[in-house]
Each structure stands twice: as C-alpha cells, then as structure tokens.
Chains A and B, each alone.
Chain A
C-alpha cells in the first residue's frame, strides 16, 4: 500500500528513528489520546491534540489482483473519512447535541494501540509515526464489534506534547463488520 501524499515526510526506510525518550513520549501521548476517546472527551481531543490543518483520512481499498497496476487511492478517491478540521469538528459537535439517540445509553469503546514506530522527518518538530490499533466496541446488551488496522500519522511537536496533523487509517476489513464507523481511530 502506498502512503498518503506527504511531501514533508521522509520515507521510513532511511529516516532516523526517534530517541528512546521521544519514543516513550509518543507512546504515552497515544495512550492519553486513547483514554480521552474512551472517555468521550471528544472536544478536549480536538482542542488539545489535533492540529488546525489536520487531514484525517480513511480510504476505501478495493480488493484487486496483484497484477492490477492501478495506483493506490489518493485523497481524491472514495473514502470513509476524508476530513479537514471543520468536518471533524462537526462530527464532534454532533456528539454533544444530546440528540444522538444511538449513543443514549452510551456505547463502550476501548482502544489498544501498539507497534509504535516513530521517525524524524525533514521538517524539524514533525514526526512520522506508524502504529496499529485494535478497537473494541460494545453496544446495547450484546453487540460487540472489533476493528483492527494501522495508522500513519504526522505528529507535530507542540511544547511538551504533540498535535495530529495527518492521520491515514488503514482498516483491515474490506466489508465493515459494523453498522457504522462513527468513532475516531
């Protein structure tokens, strides 16, 4: 799979890995992000951890023959998420209207983030970070959905913390095994 078009991001093959200390900070940052999303602190997530120039992208991957040379999807193609900040904000605001009936009573969601690999890019303070996720959603009495996939992030150092400037989400399932994907991976 090709990665997002990110001219500022060095390829992982020859980019320098971050230090053990920075690696630790990034992992802790992801755990904090996951906890915020688990707790339904979507506004805090958007305000504190997301950059105003965010591109938040979950492309649609069609299953094609290996010999098929058509390029991988770009942000101009079909996608499930293809959001800028204003779109993410509408998604978040919707959750605070008190009128999202299917979240009342609320569902439970739990994130496991792993395989964190972080690299410096040509742009000082910007890091390319790969990670994997397993997301478990429990709804109503017995509904249970599991989503697995990978993320490719561009994190921007912001003082002692980080802001998310790009997130490309590769969902493993072709046919989504859930009634919607309205959660932030």
Chain B
C-alpha cells in the first residue's frame, strides 16, 4: 500500500525518492492523476476539416481525436470494442471511418459503431449503440485541445484557473494567438515522467550548469549564465509562479527569444506585438510577454514560450516516458518566420537539440539511482527560495522572488499530493480558497515592494 503522507511533504518541499520508482504509486498516479486531470491531445489547427484526425495518447491510453461535421472535436479510445484491437494505426489523416484490421468492424468519425461485417449471417448479438469507441471529454483552451477521462472533473478553463490568465499573455494577448506545428518528433527516454515535468515547471537553476556548453556556443542573453560564473542579481531577472492545480512556470525577463541564434525577424515580431499586449491585457502581462517562460501544465505538458518547444511526457510505466515535441508559434507570424522558428526550436530542443541533448542523462539517472532500495529510503529537496514567495498584488497564484528558485516545484508537488489523496474532485474543490496556505510568508511581496 502507498502512504502518500510519507512520500511528499504538504508544502511540496521534500519528496521521498520512492515517487520516482514505485510501481504501486505509479498505478495510483494513472488512476488519480492521469485518469482525472486534463491531458494535452493536439491543437485545433492540426485537424481543420471534417474527418481530419490525429492519434494522441493520454498516459498509456491510445486516443483518436477527430474533427466532426459540425466543426466540434471528439476524442475516443483507439481500441475496438469487439476484441480490443487498435482501430487506427496512422498518426494523422482524413477519413470517413475507422475500420478495425482484425474483423472489419467500422466506426464513424464520431466513434460510433456503424458496421459489423456479416452481422446477420453470424448471429451477432451486439447492440451497436452500446459498442461505440468510449468517448473522452475534450475541451479547447484558445485552440489547444485537452482530454479528460473524468466526468466529475472541472471544466478545462476551471482546471487551468489562474494559469489560463497567464497563458492569455501570448495566447490572446497579441492578435490571433498561438498554434502548434507538427508532426511531433517522438523519442523514448528512460525516466520517470515527473522528472522532466518538475524540470520544466521550475528549474532555471540547472540552465547555467547543465546547458553550459550550448549556451557558451549559441550566445544570447542567457550565455552569461553558462558555468554559473556570472555575478547576476537574480531577483531582478525574473520570477516563478505556481497556481491552484499545480501548473507553474518561471520567467526570465526580456529573454523570450534568447535561445534562438537566427532571431532578428523574431525580435522584430515581438517588438511589433508588445504594444498590442499592453493595450489588450495591461502592463502586468505585457511585462511577461517579452520574457522566456519554462512551464508545466500539470501533470505532463511542458513548454518553453520564447524557445517555442511544446512537449508531452507520456508515461510508459514508472521508469520510462515517450517524449512528443511540437513547435509553438504565433498564428500571426508570416510563413518565413514560422519556418525559421521551427528550425530554431528543433536546433535547441528537438530530439537532437543542442540543449535537449544535455537533459536526457540527468533525467534518466535521477530516476535510475532510485533503483537501489537503500538509496530509495532517502528524500529529495526542493526548498530553494522558500519564504521568498507569496501572494502578489499584481499577479494571481503564488509568486516566487527569483527565476532561480523552487517555488513552482513546491506548487507542483503540493498539488501532486493533494490530487493523489483526494477520493474525488470535490475534495479538491473544498480547498479552492485555502490551497496556497502552505506558502507561509503571506506578506513577502507587500514588504518587498514597499521596501523597493
């Protein structure tokens, strides 16, 4: 049996190493996290026409996402209700039906069972209405489609909560919003899914050391971080944020495009957009628009705004993930700039990326060192910046003072524990007004801003 109270501290500042290894805990994560949270599927622009589909994944479940006649989108389980065979093996396309390779059962683009070959002659005893492909809830936030297995879960918008307010900065702040360029590149990484999720949610600390080589060669503002040599006033350079349901991010101010090496056109685009963000959303979010964001949308959807990489870490058991990577672009970018961005994003964080290549081994050995049962008795720390954080007059959620800190780690693991312990979503809802009480220094920002 898994005793969650022994695995994660309430404030998210300490975790048992067990959480990166234990199979029973993984099974509980599948049930209570991946079975109840909103998981990234695809972007609406990748399935524009009726019959357009993509094969997606929700943790270990194979899912089809398909555009309907009435322009809505449905998602359903990619497994025949007869004997369980996968009904679609293509990653994307346009179709009128999904026909199972095994016996030829055919499903419509809405997932309904429409044909059983030889139905009458075989004396089939099937109520076709009852045997459609199981439907998954699907909702869109600004064109980004997420799926959820739990009818009791809040809406996607409620699930994002204050994180949606932040995402709006670049999803609607300037013009027509953001979209993804596919197809995704895919790779296997032998690590627990939480290792990259926590890294993207709040680890600017590793950037200067893990990525020293790439930063030194690629230049840009972040090159000063390379090798941790710089004597920089970190508190002025950025912030960290965490929100109700564990979604969080770190921002490095005025560094949005810094990882791109061919960036003049991108810089110009950003400069052109900025006044619109100020006008549409106000100064607070305009200040974030030019920042570089490292984000995780709980549980396993991570992205770097500015660097334009957008990823899902699909768990494959407790010790392996499949990484899917798209390119994140603004819809208003012209085709030339989009191509440039796509190239640049692959160069830094694609499967052969100059920075991506630095992370894999860390993530693998952060998992595999816990294979040893005696090592696994230990705990791991994410205490950096504790008490240098709190409610902020200008921003929702909890705001950490420095972009190098672990505020959003703590926010991630705080919610991780909460959702694992909750029997139902109602238990989570009951804490909607008190969730952030684990961040104890309530006056940090009032005092800090007054002093300033």
The residues of A with any CB-CB pair to B shorter than 8 Å are 58, 60, 62-65, 68, 76-83, 86-87, 90-91, 93-95, 97-102, 139, 174-182
CB neighbours (8 Å) of A82 from chain B are: 343, 346-347
Is A60 touching B183 in the complex (CB atoms < 8 A)? yes
Is B143 close to A, CB under 8 A? no
Identify A62's interface contact among B92, B95, B212, B352, CB under 8 A: B92
Q: Which residues of B contact A81 (CB under 8 A)?
A: 346, 352
B183 in contact with A178 (CB, 8 Å): no
List 14 A–B pairs whose Cβ atoms lie within 8 Å, in order of A's numbering. A58-B352, A62-B182, A64-B93, A78-B184, A78-B185, A90-B261, A90-B354, A98-B213, A100-B358, A176-B188, A179-B364, A180-B187, A181-B187, A182-B353
Give which listed residue, A80, A139, A180, A182, contacts B346 with CB less than 8 A.
A80
Q: Which residues of chain B have C-beta atoms less than 8 A from A78's C-beta?
A: 181-185, 327, 342, 346
List A contacts of B350 (CB < 8 A). 79-80
The answer to whether B188 touches A177, judged by C-beta atoms less than 8 angstroms apart, is yes
Pick out which of these stretches binds chain A: B12-20, B153-161, B214-222, B238-246. B214-222
Q: Are A97 and B217 in contact (CB under 8 A)?
A: yes
B157 → chain A closest CB, angstroms = 30
Q: A62-B91, A63-B90, A175-B322 are known; give 4 further A-B pairs, CB within 8 A.
A: A81-B346, A82-B347, A90-B261, A177-B188
Q: How far is the CA of A102 from the CA of B356 in the complex (A)?
A: 12
Given contacts A79-B346, A97-B213, A99-B213, are A63 and B227 in contact (CB under 8 A)? Answer: no
B residues at A contact (CB < 8 Å): 89-95, 181-190, 210, 212-214, 216-218, 226-227, 261, 322, 327, 339, 342-343, 346-347, 350-354, 356-358, 360-361, 363-364
B191: nearest chain-A partner, CB-CB:
A179
B interface secondary structure, majority: mixed
Cα-based distance from A177 to B350 in the complex (angstroms)? 14
Query: What are the 4 tightest A-B residue pairs by CB atom distance, in nearest-first order?
Result: A179-B360, A176-B187, A182-B357, A62-B183
Asked whether, in the complex, the Cβ of A180 is within 8 Å of the Cβ of B89, the reply is no
A133 to chain B, nearest CB (A): 15
**Across the interface, do A97 and B212 meet the contact criterion of CB distance under 8 Å?**
yes
Among A63, A77, A177, point to the contact of B89 (Cβ < 8 A).
A63
A80 with B185: CB separation less than 8 A: yes
Closest to A79 in B: B346
Residue among A76, A95, A139, A176 facing the most chain B CB atoms (10 A cut-off): A176
Closest to B361 in A: A102
Please give, as numbers and ranges, the residues of chain A lying within 8 Å of B184 by CB-CB distance: 60, 78
Q: Are A101 and B188 in contact (CB under 8 A)?
A: no
**Shortest CB–CB separation between residue B314 and chain A, in angstroms?**
10
Q: In the complex the two chains form, is A179's CB within 8 Å of B361's CB?
A: yes
Q: Known: A80-B185, A176-B351. Is A97-B90 also a contact (CB below 8 A)?
A: no
Q: Tell me the smallest distance from the CB of A60 to a CB of chain B, in Å.
A: 5
Find the A residue at minimum CB distance from B358.
A102
Chain B min CB distance to A159 (Å): 31
Complex CA–CA separation, A176 to B357 (angstroms): 13
A77 to chain B, nearest CB (A): 8
A100 contacts B213, C-beta separation under 8 Å: yes
Contact A178–B90 (Cβ < 8 Å)? no
